[in-house]
């Protein structure tokens, strides 16, 4: 069976879906691996490193994809209408596609996978069960995003994070507020603490309090009673009502008066991100303060943040809206992501090296979007996803 890896061509993407380590492991499983030339460039993996690990190098994406049985991707493939280069059309009927396919945000593309007759897996739909932890790409990438967000903020901030006592005077420690204490937020807290900042954090889920405090940060609670029911069975946050959001803003305004840097990481799966910092709230921050909006691609936690840009408000507050934060630390992000995909791939290949899609396996069932020309995923409401073939058939 042949596994293909191609260069990622979407904007802001430097990561790649395989590493020399995972190529070696796949070859060890009896798989044949082909990588498009330059596929690993953005993550500092050379063709030579891929070849040494056992991959053959194809001159272009079409050649790599044409007879591949399994295609590993970071981002969803480019398709006809949105780019000159249609990657999907090079996948053969019956091929398996695995990546961060964002099916809830781009349901029409799921229809295109069905029409192309491929078995597409969206790795972000993994259930949060112990067995799936080694495949959890959302966590591996969010962790690095949280780390990098703090470094980007520190870089834009005109002051130091730690307290420093020098002969020329004492520098006060900076105060960092982390909003959303999930995987990215907890790593942001740990990173800011390592840099010597005084850190506070808030989240809607009650479980976050203990985790925040165990990292040596102060937890800001909005409503303990509401927080107890804010977590879904899957471990994610629910969307909170307007009354909660108003009280959260009042509470945060107080904290902002004593804050230098804010890292916003709040997300709600499949929904627009909640607005945590309004323009009026940003005005509470002193000039020179820095805000990072890690949710900018999901609508943003911060009013006025711009995708891919740093915006400076009239009061002199910088809002960092960098897109795809994990890609800004592409080497480690690719290493971890590639390993997540390899761990997932093991589920799909039997001991004779043949493809085996066991839809009774809860990990397979939760992530499989399309099979045999149909959209099969329970997370995608049937009426919302009409394949092009179905649409053409009326
Ligand atoms: P996420 O990326 O969906 O959201 C980030 C954080 O934003 C979450 O903590 C969420 O509660 C918070 N948030 C949402 N709305 C908010 C609001 N209005 N105000 C403040 N905060 C808000 O979540 P995540 O980081 O992927 O993980 C959430 C939880 O799942 C974490 O506790 C994590 O430890 C847990 N987790 C479990 C597993 C597992 O395998 N069991 C794997 C990964 C994560």
Tell me how far apart the alpha carbons of residues 196 and 215 are, in angstroms, rounded to a whole number.
Answer: 13
* pLDDT of amino acid 240: 85
- Nearest-CA neighbor of 277 among 260, 256, 298? 256
Sheet of strand 218-220, all strands in order from the earlier edge strand to the far edge: 218-220, 198-202, 175-179, 261-264, 290-293, 318-320, 310-312
Which residues are annotated as catalytic? Answer: 128, 133, 136, 139, 236
Order across the sheet with 374-375: list the strands. 56-58, 32-36, 2-5, 70-75, 96-100, 119-122, 368-371, 374-375
**DSSP character at residue 105:** T
pLDDT at 82: 67
Closest C-alpha among 115, 117, 119 to residue 96: 119
Confidence at residue 129, expressed as pLDDT on a 0 to 100 scale: 94
Task: Please report the pLDDT score of residue 45 as a whole number.
Answer: 98
User: 244 CB less than 6 Å from ligand 1?
Assistant: no
Asked if residue 274 has its Cβ within 6 Å of ligand 1, the reply is: yes
Judge if the beta carbon of residue 270 lies within 6 A of ligand 1.
Answer: no
Helix or strand (DSSP H, E) at 46: none
Averaged pLDDT in 10-residue chunks for the chain of 394 residues: 97 97 96 98 98 98 96 94 81 97 92 96 96 98 98 98 98 98 98 98 94 97 82 82 87 94 94 94 97 97 97 97 98 98 96 92 97 93 46 38
The runs of H, that is alpha helices, within 215-347 are 224-228, 242-256, 279-282, 330-345
Kindly report the protein residue whose alpha carbon is nearest to atom 1 of ligand 1: 267
| Beta-carbon contacts of residue 224 (< 8 Å; ≥ 6 apart) | 206
* CA of 1 relative to ligand 1 center, distance in Å: 37
Indicate whether residue 135 lines ligand 1 (CB < 6 A).
no
DSSP calls for 191-237: HHHHTT-EEEEE-SSTTHHHHHHHTT-EEE-S-HHHHHT-B-TTSPB
């Amino acid at each position: 069976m042949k596994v293909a890896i191609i260069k990622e061509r979407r904007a802001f993407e430097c990561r790649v879906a395989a590493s020399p380590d995972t190529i070696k492991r796949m070859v060890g499983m009896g798989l044949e691996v082909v990588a498009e030339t330059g596929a690993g460039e953005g993550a500092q993996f050379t063709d030579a490193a891929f070849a040494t690990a056992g991959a053959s190098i194809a001159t272009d994406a079409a050649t790599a994809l044409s007879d591949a049985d399994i295609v590993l991707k970071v981002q969803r493939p480019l398709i006809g209408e949105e780019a000159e280069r249609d990657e999907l059309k090079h996948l053969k009927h019956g091929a398996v596609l695995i990546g961060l396919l964002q099916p809830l945000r781009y349901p029409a593309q799921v229809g295109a996978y069905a029409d192309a007759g491929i078995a597409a897996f969206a790795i972000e739909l993994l259930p949060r069960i112990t067995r799936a932890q080694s495949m959890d790409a959302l966590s591996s990438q969010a962790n690095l995003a949280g780390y990098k967000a703090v470094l980007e903020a520190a870089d834009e901030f005109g002051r130091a994070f730690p307290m420093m006592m020098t002969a020329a005077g004492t520098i006060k420690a900076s105060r960092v507020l982390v909003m959303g204490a999930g995987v990215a937020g907890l790593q942001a807290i740990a990173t800011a603490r390592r840099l010597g900042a005084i850190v506070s954090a808030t989240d809607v889920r009650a479980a976050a309090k203990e985790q925040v405090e165990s990292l040596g940060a102060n937890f800001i609670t909005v409503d303990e009673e509401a927080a107890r029911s804010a977590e879904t069975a899957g471990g994610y946050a629910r969307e909170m009502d307007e009354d909660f959001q108003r009280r959260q803003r009042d509470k945060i305004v107080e904290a902002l008066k004593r804050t230098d840097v804010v890292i916003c990481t709040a997300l709600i799966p499949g929904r627009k991100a909640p607005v945590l910092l309004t323009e009026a709230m940003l005005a509470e921050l002193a000039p020179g303060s820095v805000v990072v909006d890690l949710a900018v691609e999901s609508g943003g936690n911060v009013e006025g943040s711009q995708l891919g840009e740093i915006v400076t408000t009239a009061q002199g507050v910088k809002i960092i809206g960098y897109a795809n934060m994990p890609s800004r630390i592409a080497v480690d992000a690719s290493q971890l992501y590639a390993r997540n995909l390899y761990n997932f791939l093991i589920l799909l290949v039997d001991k004779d090296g043949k493809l085996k899609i066991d839809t009774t396996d809860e990990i397979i069932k939760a992530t499989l979007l399309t099979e045999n020309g149909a959209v099969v995923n329970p997370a995608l409401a049937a009426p919302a996803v009409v394949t092009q073939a179905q649409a053409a058939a009326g």
